[in-house]
Amino acid sequence: MAKSFEIIERVGISNESASEAIKSVILEANKEKSVSWFEVLEQRGRVTAEDEIEFQVTVKLGRRVND
């Protein structure tokens, strides 16, 4: 039987770390439907008006279509 996946992209945001931003976006997506794999596409950040660092990470997620 052939396997197929849907691919979605999401941006995770954290004031703690890029790793935390990645983890939060994956776990959030996994609650909706099981995530099979992920790929980090882009990392960036900004300094907020409150002088905090905000980490932003774009993640590509693969989920099996027939799960």
Half-sphere exposure of 46 (CA within 13 A, CB side): 6
Would you tell me how many other CB atoms lie within 10 Å of the CB of residue 25?
23
Burial of 57 (0-12, 13-18, 19+ CB in 10 A): buried
CA–chain centroid gap for 19, Å, is: 10
- Give the phi and the psi of residue 21 in degrees, each rounded to 5: -65, -40
**What mean pLDDT comes out for the span 40-47?**
98
pTM for this structure? 0.86
Fold (CATH) for 5-64: Dodecin subunit-like (3.30.1660)
Q: With bands split at pLDDT 50, 70 and 90, how would you rate the model's confidence at 49?
A: very high
**What mean pLDDT comes out for the span 1-28?**
94
2, pLDDT greater than 70:
no
Within 8 A by CB and 6+ apart from 32, the residues are none
